[in-house]
Structure 1
Amino acid sequence: MGSTPRRRSSPAAARTGVVPPLLLLFAMLFWGRAAAYGDAQGAGMTALQKHASFFDRDGDGIVSLSETYDAFRALGFGIGMSSISAAFINGALGSMTRPENATSSRLDIYIENIHKGIHGSDTGSYDAEGRFVPAKFDEIFAKHAKTVPDALTSDEIDELLLANRVPGDYKGWVGATSEWKILYSLGKDKDGLLRKDVARGAYDGSLFHQLVQEKASGDK
């Protein structure tokens, strides 16, 4: 942020438009929840597991297609968008996280294995096990926050994505673009800036708990 502190507008209030379905393909990697499972098991979970558990509505460690749909609805998405998003997310991550002895639906996502859904061409802010890596996260802003310290513009996010692309890693390109575009859409402030503290909240899910709470408060 700049030298003069100023109040940042609510991420929920700053959200505009509708995120295209393609950008929701890997949204599972961004959102968490603070309900029973997360509260009880959070100390033993990685950052990636914490924010992935946002979709685990009944706290059993498994995210069904219907739970993903319900989570998107809780975040304020419409019926059509929530349905498409659930199909993309569970279709992509169900097979990647499924244990060998699993007997449930092949569309179910297993939070204990969510690290297996990590893609290439990313920032390295999660390690291979899904743990948060502060040095890599700080590096994002040290390298790319050129307009305002500790904040990213839309163009700077595009530069970040381009800088991290591994040649030929098309799946990784889609995943990284999806994640950052979603985060920018949900978290940018009234000046079109994604602040570092907001971005940090996405990695453990705290930002998205806040968005749901703000939506609930606004609906009252």
Structure 2
Amino acid sequence: MAEEARAVREEELSPVAEAAPVTARRPVRADLEKHIPKPYLARALVAPDVYHPGGSKEGGHQHRQRSVLQQHVAFFDMDGDGVIYPWETYQGLRALGFNMIVSVVFAMAIHASLSYTTLHSWVPSLLFPIYIDNIHRAKHGSDTATYDTEGRVASKAEWMLLYMLAKDEEGNLPREAIRRCFDGSLFEFIADERRQAHGKRQ
């Protein structure tokens, strides 16, 4: 009886359903608990993977008690005041290597679509600020549910932008780039890399 119950339990935990062959072709890791404590738990402060169970530590990235979504956008807060203005987003995009026209268009689109939902009042601001503490309110319909409604790690245009920004020389998007994008440490890394490359040219 105990063996029968154990067999039923193992079957219930199987990541493969025989009637759905795709589940065998796209296997799910069953060893995450060996690498990441409580892998099913949504993380508020870090974006872990099996190689970085504590999230990003490279380059001095610190979470500063911000949600992963807040960390993701904080790169663009150039003066560190908790508010991102369109000109700061423009500066951040330029630091990431986007040209002037793309940076202006993206900054305008980002602030026009996200600003109002992050404001502390119902009165719109003509400066189109994005308040980092309310960024969880700006989740939008094209999101892929990478972040949950509170801004923890859990958009199609954003994926294309990430691909343009972080693809390798073979045209692939590395796993590490994706993980680091979630907490914003990828932006810090790319901006530092570009600063160092620019310094070597002079």
Q: Note if 1:181 corresponds to 2:160.
A: yes
Give percent identity, aligned residues only.
Answer: 40
Q: How many matched pairs?
A: 140
1:70 paired with 2:98, answer no
Q: Deviations over 1:96-154 (max 9, x none)?
A: 11111778545011011111111235432311100113xxxxxxxxxxxxxxxxxxxxx
Comparing 113-122 and 207-216, the one that deviates more: 113-122
Give the deviation of 1:81 after TM superposition: 2.0
Match of 1:55 in 2: 76
8 A contact 1:94–1:106 mirrored in 2: no
- Rounded to whole Å, the distance in 2 between the matches of 1:88 and 1:121 is 14
Match of 1:44 among 61, 65, 90: 65
Question: Structure 2: how far apart are the matches of 1:104 and 1:44?
Answer: 27
Pairing 1:92–2:113 present: yes
- Decide which structure has greater helix share: 1
Asked if the contact 1:201/1:207 (under 8 Å) is kept, the reply is yes
TM-score of the superposed pair, with normalisation by structure 2: 0.63
Computed over aligned residues only, the root mean square deviation of the Cα atoms, in angstroms, reads 2.2
Gaps in structure 1 of 5+ consecutive residues: 1-33, 134-175
Other-structure match for 1:207: 186
Per the alignment, do residues 93 and 103 of structure 1 end up closer, same or farther by CA in structure 2, a change over 3 Å counting?
Answer: closer
* Counterparts of 1:60 and 1:101, CA distance in 2: 21
Contact persistence 1:98–1:106 (CA under 8 A): no
Higher normalized contact order (CA 8 Å, seq sep 6+, divided by chain length): 1
What's the offset of the Cα at 1:217?
1.1
Deviations along 1:17-69, whole A, 9 cap, x unmatched? xxxxxxxxxxxxxxxxx9xxx85xx3321000001111100001001121111
Matched, 1:116 2:133: no
Instruction: Return the alpha-carbon distance in structure 1 between the equivalents of residues 195 and 90 of structure 2.
Output: 17
1:79 Cα offset (Å) = 2.1
Partner Cα distance (1:110, 1:97) in 2: 5
Q: CA deviation at 1:199?
A: 0.6
Which amino acid letter does the alignment assign opposite residue 178 of structure 1? Answer: A
Q: Report the residue type matching 2:72 in the other structure.
A: H
> For 2:168 and 2:99, how far apart are their aligned partners in 1?
23
Q: Any conservation in 1 of the 2:144–2:156 contact (CA below 8 Å)?
A: no
How far apart, in 1, do the equivalents of 2:99 and 2:172 lie? 25
